[in-house]
Structure 1
Amino acid sequence: MNTFYKTLVFLLFVNATINAQFKENNALYTSGELNLGNYIGVDINLNYIYKENYSFKIGYTGNIRKPKSQPEDYSSGLTGVLLFGSANPYDQLENYQIGVGKIYKLNPSGTIRANLSLGIGYTIISEPENWVRINNGFLAENYTWNYKKYSTISVIINPKIEFPFSRLYGLTISPLIQLNKDRTYIGIGIGQMIGLLRKRK
């Protein structure tokens, strides 16, 4: 029994030491931003930072805009108004991404830093087409359509200014550019970070 307790204490000590070392050398957190640009949407990421120098992220970006192909006399009808436009057609730009970056402290305390990230993404583009005018009265939409959906690969340029005010919470401002052969997104995101953001000072 004495050996059991010694082993248990040893394992707890090793676990605490490893956990402390992880917190000392690593940061792991989620970030979410609202994007505004030639589309609007959200950007959600899981972020990892090693020794406050290098970053890695995986994430998802979802953006929409008024369809470029939409007829000028399109109306969502009274139903669309009551649903706050949730059933309306949109040009949609979704992106699943991975990225790597370099961290630069912008003040000695580390509460302001630049996270310069570059990555690639799998991009899904959905856009309405084949608009056909119908007569549904004022209650419903006056056009039918169907979505054209296709995918491509994008280059993601996403430098961020991060404000990890505490070890667990912070804010972000992040220009975002997604480049591919079919569509380009250019905008800026404003959001928050939650998790283990930086080591204890």
Structure 2
Amino acid sequence: MKNLFLTLAFTLTSLASFGQFLKDDALYISPSIGGGDYFYFGVSLDYIINEKYSIGISGLSGMRNAKSTPEDYDMGVINGIFTFGTNRPMDYTNIFQFLVGRTFILSKDKDVRANLMLGLSISEKQSPSNWVWVNQGAFLENYLYEQESYWSAGLILKPKLEIPFSRFFGISFSPFLVLSQEVNYGCTLDFNLGKVRNRNSKNMVQKTK
């Protein structure tokens, strides 16, 4: 998993360096945070060609309290005190996305656009399983369990509303739906950093006068 994130980070950096040669296109990196069936955070790279077509790669991670946790699970006094109640059994997911799309300008100043994307996803799911009740007293958790993981491929739909405030910064609202072995859904707030739009918008021309 660590190697996959390092590979994604290297790809993002390499493409961003190449972006300085792209005069009429947009290329930007977007850290993101959001919610849905998990609490999500991630990073993506988007490349928009001639304000019409888009290509994107993204890595999104999510976490939540484990759905399989037994009703009588107790983390114990020691875990509760020393971890402030945060060391609970958790479900985790990592979703890698490879996307293409069509971009539509929604304002005359080109400061609002829709980026309708779809593509392929590769997902990793980790969750506790094989719960076994144990009597360890009130100080330790009363269940032992194993962490199970699997990978699956699927499809992702991701229509984004993008608001470039300037040439180099903007935000996006990005709802998504992943159709895989597990269906994932949510919406993230993305902070777009890089060449968010080109210089040819009406708003940018007015600012330079």
The TM-score by the shorter chain falls in which range? 0.7 to 0.9
The CA distance in 2 between the partners of 1:85 and 1:115, in whole Å, is: 40
Question: Counterpart in 2 of 1:154?
Answer: 154
| Residue range with higher mean Cα deviation, 170-179 or 32-41 | 32-41
Question: Counterpart in 2 of 1:195?
Answer: 194
The CA distance in 1 between the partners of 2:183 and 2:84, in whole Å, is: 27
How many positions carry a matched residue from both structures? 182
The CA distance in 1 between the partners of 2:151 and 2:126, in whole Å, is: 9
Question: Counterpart in 2 of 1:130?
Answer: 130
**Alpha carbons of structure 1 residues 25 and 173: separation in structure 2 relative to 1, 3 Å:** same
Whether 1:110 and 2:84 are equivalent positions in the alignment is no
Consecutive unaligned residues in structure 1, runs of 5 or more: 1-18
Question: Counterpart in 2 of 1:33?
Answer: 32
Question: Counterpart in 2 of 1:63?
Answer: 62
**Alpha carbons of structure 1 residues 77 and 103: separation in structure 2 relative to 1, 3 Å:** same
Identity, in percent, stands at 34
Question: Counterpart in 1 of 2:14?
Answer: none
| Residue range with higher mean Cα deviation, 183-192 or 114-123 | 183-192
Residues 40, 188 of structure 2: 8 Å contact kept: no
- What TM-score results when the alignment is normalised by the length of structure 1? 0.83
Residues 65, 88 of structure 2: 8 Å contact kept: no
**Alpha carbons of structure 1 residues 79 and 108: separation in structure 2 relative to 1, 3 Å:** farther
Residues 35, 43 of structure 1: 8 Å contact kept: no
**Alpha carbons of structure 1 residues 168 and 58: separation in structure 2 relative to 1, 3 Å:** same
The structure number with the bigger radius of gyration is 1
Structure 1 residues 153-185: Cα deviation after superposition (integer angstroms, max 9, x where no partner): 0111111001110011111111110111x2111
Q: CA deviation at 1:75?
A: 2.2
Consecutive unaligned residues in structure 2, runs of 5 or more: 1-18, 205-209
